[in-house]
């Protein structure tokens, strides 16, 4: 049955499909927006199919946390997510289901939380190793906006080149890092300003002409 219910993890009320035999058990969270009848009916069909599968369930891992439980004791959605994840480690769907149930006994939304952690990790890695092309674009935009440099077309996707009529500047990618070279005969305050900007953009300036 469909009902609006408080979801502790999100600290708000959300629409949920509840078990008719165990009304406290959530079969599916829909979020804050009330789902239409077609979406609810589709989810109920999925749950009914899940019940048929659960009726044939046999414990394959005695001694697990979920030994006294069946798949029907958990959210069908969470078990399905769990089976998909655990199938990465086994080719036995029934074993994968039981491993998933053990995890869900500890945390009823284990696989949602696992997905959130993986997403945060991927975002952290992406932030640390950003695509060099986007960083090169940032350098190009900054130099064109703040300095009298002209961007020179370059077929090498791992570098950008600028020219101001008297000297040239290259920003190149080496091993995931950006390095600058050239700029002679820039001197004094112009060169100091350029070095300050490149340092701010985290470009290695050791290759600049002294």
Asked if 162 and 139 touch (Cβ cutoff 8 Å), the reply is no
Note down the domain range covering 22: 2-125
Do residue 191 and residue 118 come from a single domain? no
Do residue 103 and residue 168 come from a single domain? no
> Is residue 80 pLDDT above 80, yes or no?
yes
Q: Is residue 154 part of a domain?
A: yes
pLDDT in the model for residue 49? 66
Within 10 Å of residue 210's Cβ, how many Cβ atoms? 4
Pairing verdict, β 150-152 and 26-31: unpaired
Q: State the pTM of this model.
A: 0.41
Domain stops at, among 125, 156, 181: 125
Domain stops at, among 77, 92, 125: 125
Distance (Å, whole) CA 206 – CA 209: 8
CA 88 to each of CA 48, 102, 103: distance values in angstroms, whole numbers, following the listed order: 26, 16, 15
Whole-number percent of the chain with pLDDT over 90:
0
- List the single range of 76-80, 92-96, 121-125 with lowest mean pLDDT: 121-125
Whole-number percent of the chain with pLDDT over 70:
80
Do residue 89 and residue 26 come from a single domain? yes
Please write the tens of the pLDDT for every residue from 64-75.
Answer: 777 778 777 888
Please write the tens of the pLDDT for every residue from 178-205.
Answer: 888 776 656 667 778 888 888 888 888 8
Do residue 26 and residue 118 come from a single domain? yes
Q: Is residue 209 part of a domain?
A: no
Distance (Å, whole) CA 5 – CA 14: 6
Do residue 145 and residue 61 come from a single domain? no
Q: For the chain, give the mean pLDDT.
A: 77
What average pLDDT does range 32-42 have in this prediction?
Answer: 86
Do residue 114 and residue 51 come from a single domain? yes
pLDDT in the model for residue 131? 45
Do residue 164 and residue 196 come from a single domain? yes
What average pLDDT does range 161-189 have in this prediction?
Answer: 74
Distance (Å, whole) CA 56 – CA 42: 22
Distance (Å, whole) CA 160 – CA 113: 42
Pairing verdict, β 177-182 and 2-7: unpaired
Residue of 135 and 41 predicted with greater confidence: 41
Do residue 15 and residue 63 come from a single domain? yes
Do residue 118 and residue 136 come from a single domain? no
Residue 22 confidence class, pLDDT cut points 50, 70, 90:
confident
Domain count, the chain: 2
pLDDT in the model for residue 155? 63
Domain stops at, among 67, 100, 125: 125
Do residue 111 and residue 166 come from a single domain? no
């Amino acid at each position: 049955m469909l009902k609006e219910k408080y979801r502790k993890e999100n600290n708000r009320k959300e629409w949920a499909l509840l078990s008719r035999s165990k009304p406290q058990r959530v079969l599916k969270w829909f979020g804050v927006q009330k789902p239409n009848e077609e979406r609810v009916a589709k989810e109920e069909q999925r749950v009914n199919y899940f019940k048929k599968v659960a009726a044939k369930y046999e414990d394959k891992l005695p001694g697990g946390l979920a030994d006294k439980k069946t798949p029907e004791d958990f959210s069908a959605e969470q078990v399905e997510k769990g089976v998909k994840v655990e199938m990465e480690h086994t080719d036995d769907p029934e074993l994968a289901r039981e491993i998933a149930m053990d995890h869900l006994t500890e945390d009823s939304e284990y696989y949602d939380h696992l997905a959130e952690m993986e997403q945060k990790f991927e975002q952290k890695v992406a932030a640390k190793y950003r695509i060099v092309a986007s960083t090169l674009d940032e350098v190009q935009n900054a130099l064109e906006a703040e300095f009298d440099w002209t961007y020179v077309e370059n077929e090498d996707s791992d570098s950008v080149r600028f020219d101001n009529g008297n000297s040239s500047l290259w920003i190149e990618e080496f091993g995931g890092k950006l390095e600058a070279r050239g700029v002679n005969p820039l001197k004094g305050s112009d060169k100091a300003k350029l070095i300050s900007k490149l340092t701010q953009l985290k470009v290695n300036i050791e290759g600049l002409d002294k």
